Structure 1
């Protein structure tokens, strides 16, 4: 299968060819021979430095001492833009700041830097919400809602040095579609409260609500054991009792019995 070339890749290739051509033009204008940068230090101007561009052969050029390297490149028609790196090595070591003014034997290396902005859409895996229940055997699992993945838009900046990728940085992330969680019921043993398991909780529930965990009394009582919201919260319940499973309602009723006895059920408590 034939490889395809993106516009950005084509632009980078064109730019590198242009740099190579400008370096070749500079070489034709020289009277120095290859390797002359290693010659003895001249007694005066000019000094001799070596230019390296992309993958081309190095070129030795003469220039005035203490010339800035960028100026030297422009003098030889080698284009440099604001992103490019102009590096100077002296005796095998990089130099910076004012020390980059050229001396005899320096090596000037131009690194063509291109930056490309890329946008991708990535799947966001849904989380799994496990809901414990006494309506299933302990350890048994049942999926009650299938999850759906979401979508996140990712914007990244890729940096190339002489056409080779050197850096990938994510600059923006945005969730454009929320994932829907996967809900799973997980069976567990009923909650137990010491000293309450031998009582007839079924009879109490039938008396209070007809055994209906969703029962609602207009006076503000809910569920199997007709909790009001304040009492439900006092034994650790959250939300409304009718939103909890029958097993949790029984567990909270046992906690209430342990602290207050039959008194919360003045009419039906005798059946326990």
Structure 2
């Protein structure tokens, strides 16, 4: 490099260093230091006293010009608190650092921190404020730079007309944040008593909206959605008017028959030792009518209020003797049976008192050792009992048909 070029570069370097020194010194409030640093080092020491007074004056005039050129008058507003100040900062970020204004990701700075500064500029800083917002039942955390609830609602685009607010619209929002519940006005329609009832409400529950519509639930009345559910805009809720109660129905429970073998009875003979009795099953049903329409009964519970009693039947296992060992064995019992009953073992006369082949009454039958009714006994037993009666009384019990025994 030529001596001339080297000299020009040296002078440019000294000038740049001088301007930076002025800005740094101005920030520290040191007005003498820039002037001292503008003096060439060659003038230090004894040589400084040799300089003409004119050169010192020129140097002071040049330093002051550079100092004044870097000074800027700007207006800084931090969260609405505005002031005008003088600064040597080159850009917005440098200004905020010099003024110890710290900003975060949710804060707004206009112009942006990297934008250059010029005298007369305005810089605004608005701090972000956290709001825990529950909007129509849905909770979320949002950030706003508004200072009041009203401003935050406008900033967040929340419709506040007719809405419920847990805090007044003029309430302040500090930098610590705010818990805010908002229920916007919604349209809910209730179908009740045969017609729609539409209401505009900011209620927290369907039950509150029902009351706002001038409707009530009575007795067993209910709705198509739970009373404590959140009412949605445009929702249609059915109101069901319910009447009814309980109905009790008794039905018989059949008894069983238990048979016991009895060797004292002739084979083929059955007697009822104990008659059976049906029980009672009681069932309770819920019956109701919904909006005038009767519903199918619903079974609640059943209980056996009376147990059935089993019927006990004695079944004969004894083989009756074929003969009595007397003169009755040789008589024509078949002919007399045809005369008395038409030969039918189960025949019963019109009075109902006499039955069987030989039309014996029940008292006579039991006296002869029979069980139950004569018409229920096997034919062989009926003939055996009739022979025993003949041996006791002859043909007297059969005044009309007794002569048939001897034909």
Which TM-score bucket, shorter chain as reference?
0.3 to 0.5
TM-score normalised according to structure 1 size: 0.39
Greater Rg by CA: 2
Q: TM-score, normalised by structure 2?
A: 0.28
Greater relative contact order, per chain length (Cα 8 Å cut-off, separation 6+): 1
